[in-house]
Amino acid sequence: MSTGGSVSFGSTLSCTMRCPLCATEDTRVIDSRPAEGGGAIRRRRECLVCGDRFTTFERPVIVATVVKRSGRSEAFDREKIRRGLEFALADRPVPEGTVDDIVARIEASARAGSALVTSEELGKAVLAELRNVDEVAYLRFASVYKEFQGASDFEREAAALEQGNDGASVS
């Protein structure tokens, strides 16, 4: 009863994607590579009928839930974390891909376990990451996250940061 264009269910690898241009299912993957710091896979696909090439992304569907201080919850927003990191790390001498790597680690930890985190835990996770990467970025983020009221808060945080350095000071 099989007809020419039927999908084979015999192999787990025979997952075709319809061509966005001509709608045929005769497409193939010509390239696969990690994207977004390893949290996704980017595939280039080619239509065997019309020759169109298109890109697909594969991402886990587990979405972490973030519980805010107000008690309301929202879906984990990777772009929000990215914006916070980009603000903190603007013009700082850090390796390319630092933001991507941190976003990926934070998202992975947010998804772990029950995939439920508080906004406070997220903020602390970002601070812990920045602390390892760049002191200025850490203080920038802390000044926003901890809603510093004035210079004294900033100085206290800077002092706490220095104490945590175990004497390994950088001039």
22 binds Zn ion (CB under 5 A): yes
Given 25, 52, 135, 153, the residue binding Zn ion (CB under 5 A): 52
> Quick check: helix, strand or coil at residue 57?
strand
Distance of closest approach, residue 19 Cβ to Zn ion, in angstroms: 3
Among the listed residues 155, 81, 168, 64, the one whose alpha carbon sits nearest the alpha carbon of residue 118: 64
**Options 49-57, 61-69, 121-129, 134-142: segment touching Zn ion (CB under 5 A):** 49-57
Q: Near Zn ion by CB under 5 A, which window of 14-22, 38-46, 139-147, 152-160?
A: 14-22
**Coil, strand or helix at 69:** coil
**Residue 45 bridge partners (DSSP):** 29, 54
Residue among 21, 62, 128, 144 that touches Zn ion (CB under 5 A): 21
> CB under 5 A: which stretch of 12-20, 54-62, 68-76, 77-85 binds Zn ion?
12-20
Cα–Cα distance for residue pair 18/15, rounded to 1 Å: 10
- Look up residue 164 and give its DSSP letter: T
- The residues, ordered by sequence, that sit 6+ positions from 11 with a Cβ below 8 Å of its Cβ are none
What SS3 state is found at 55? Answer: strand
Is residue 50 near Zn ion by the rule CB under 5 A? yes
* Cβ nearer to Zn ion, comparing 21 with 112: 21
Q: Name the residues that contact Zn ion, by CB under 5 A.
A: 19, 21-22, 47, 49-50, 52
